[in-house]
């Protein structure tokens, strides 16, 4: 799909409209997603990536960073994942 085809579409995950600078995809059902919003659904929250969520810490209520929009939380999760990947290489 060409980038221009996404302009003006609404992301299924965060609800924000695609701008000319955004990248993303169209799902088979016709919904659209920003790349980071899609990856956030696969990789999990910042807390999950950092091992602080209930999956790793029984009783934890950690999730996305407080006060962030879903799109900001997706961007933060990708940044946390990239940081973790760089640490693995070192």
Residue 90: what pLDDT? 73
Q: How many other C-beta atoms are found inside a 10 Å radius of the C-beta of residue 65?
A: 14
Structure tokens at 49: 């990536």
Nearest CA to 44 out of 81, 71, 16 is that of: 81
Nearest-angstrom CA–CA distance, 72 and 39:
13
Instruction: Indicate if the alpha-carbon torsion angle 26, 27, 32, 36 is positive or negative.
Output: negative
Q: State pLDDT tens for residues 56-82.
A: 999 999 999 999 999 999 999 999 999
Strands (E), the chain: 24-26, 32-34
Q: State pLDDT tens for residues 2-29.
A: 444 788 999 999 999 999 899 999 999 9
Residue 1: what pLDDT? 40
């Amino acid at each position: 799909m060409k980038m221009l085809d996404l302009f003006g579409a609404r992301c299924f995950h965060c609800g924000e409209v695609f701008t000319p600078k955004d990248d993303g995809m169209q799902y088979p059902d016709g919904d659209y997603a920003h790349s980071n919003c899609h990856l956030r659904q696969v990789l999990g929250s910042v807390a999950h990536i950092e091992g602080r969520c209930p999956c790793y810490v029984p009783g934890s209520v950690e999730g996305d960073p407080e006060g962030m929009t879903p799109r900001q939380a997706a961007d933060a999760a990708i940044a946390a994942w990239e940081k973790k990947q760089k640490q693995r290489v070192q």
